[in-house]
Structure 1
Amino acid sequence: MSDTGLPSGGSIFTSLPDVLFIPEFVFGGLVWTLIASTSVTAANPLGWIMFVSIFCFFMTTLWFFIFLTGKNKSSIWPNLDVGYHATAALFYLSASVLLAYVTTQLKAQSSSSVEFFRIYQLFIAAVVMAFFTTFLYCIHAILSAFRRMSS
């Protein structure tokens, strides 16, 4: 094993960008939950949005436990760290834009029912959480890239 400059164990809770794992879990999980609580119609891209949120949630969980257990000491891990977080940021960006589009289309169908308004509010909350999660993954990817270049 070589020293990769990557933290492991409890030090991931005190180092940037690894402290971002927790908000990535929380806000990514919120996107997943908010979308899952709405209805899916055949003609919209909610399937992709659900895939991205579930995939990133589980991969970030796996990544978190790899770092927590110290299994990230091989020399390839800094590159994998940057690659994963950049890919997650790109996935979340595409999902966020699609979700914003679906939400605007939903608004165009405006209805005065209480159920419609509740679903519309869930979509708005999901859009906000998706863009915030995109931001977190972008920051994590950038800080991981800086860490990789400095090690």
Structure 2
Amino acid sequence: MEDCPRSPTVTTITSSSCSEDLVSSALQYDKDFIKTIPGILIFLEIVLGLLVWTLIAGTEYFRVSAFGWVMFVAVFYWVLTVFFLILYLTMAYTRIPQVPWATVGLFFNSSAFILYFISAVVNAVSVSHGFQGKHEYNRWAASSFLAFMVTLCYAGSVYFSFQSWRSQGQGA
């Protein structure tokens, strides 16, 4: 093998879309989002959803299998709603324009509304069925009420998601 002298020059190839992404890679903070009605709804979904699953988790919910479903829905949508809040606050969704965010938001909020409504009904029906004592009854009853409140918040989010989806020409 012979030693070939290496060139100190490095050649790079960049495309215009790649360099534009590099220039605008810093995330921004949208401090006004939380002041909008959709932002307030997301905040309420997070706070009330947290109360739903913590009230149930503080009891022996595993004795009534229906509460397992309620816990799954509450925790699953709580985590995803926190993710969407971070996505909206940091405006990270603007960095991925290939994703139809209006459609994703509409699907997410619609599925959250439907599954939260079902879990709120299951929660309400299971409160008297799973009666263990006054402490559990009060927590399960409170979680049932709050689950219906979260359902209403998601219904509002469905409305605003639908308006956003329709305004972007997705519904035409």
**TM-score tier (shorter):** 0.7 to 0.9
Contact 1:89 1:138 in 2 (8 A): yes
- In 2, Cα distance between equivalents of 1:144 and 1:43: 35
Mapped pair 1:103 → 2:113: no
Deviations 1:33-60 (A, max 9, x none): 0010111345521111111111111100
Q: How many residues align?
A: 138
User: Percentage identity across aligned positions?
Assistant: 25
- 1:44 touches 1:102 (CA, 8 Å); kept in 2? no
- Indicate whether 1:116 and 2:133 are aligned: yes
In structure 2, the gaps of 5 or more residues are 1-19, 21-28
Q: Secondary structure at 1:38's aligned position in 2?
A: coil
For 1:100-145, what per-residue CA distance to the aligned partner results, in whole angstroms no more than 9, with x for missing partners? 11013235xxxxxxx7111111111000000000110111111110
1:91 maps to 115
- Runs of 4+ residues deviating >6 angstroms: none
Q: Partners of 1:12 and 1:84 in 2: how far apart?
A: 18
TM-score (norm 2): 0.74
Q: SS of the counterpart of 1:72?
A: helix
Residue 59 of structure 1: which of 55, 80, 83 is its match?
80
CA RMSD in angstroms, aligned pairs only: 1.9
In structure 1, what is the Cα distance between the partners aligned to 2:42 and 2:36? 11
Corresponding residue to 2:106 among 79, 82, 85: 82
Rg: which structure is higher?
A: 2
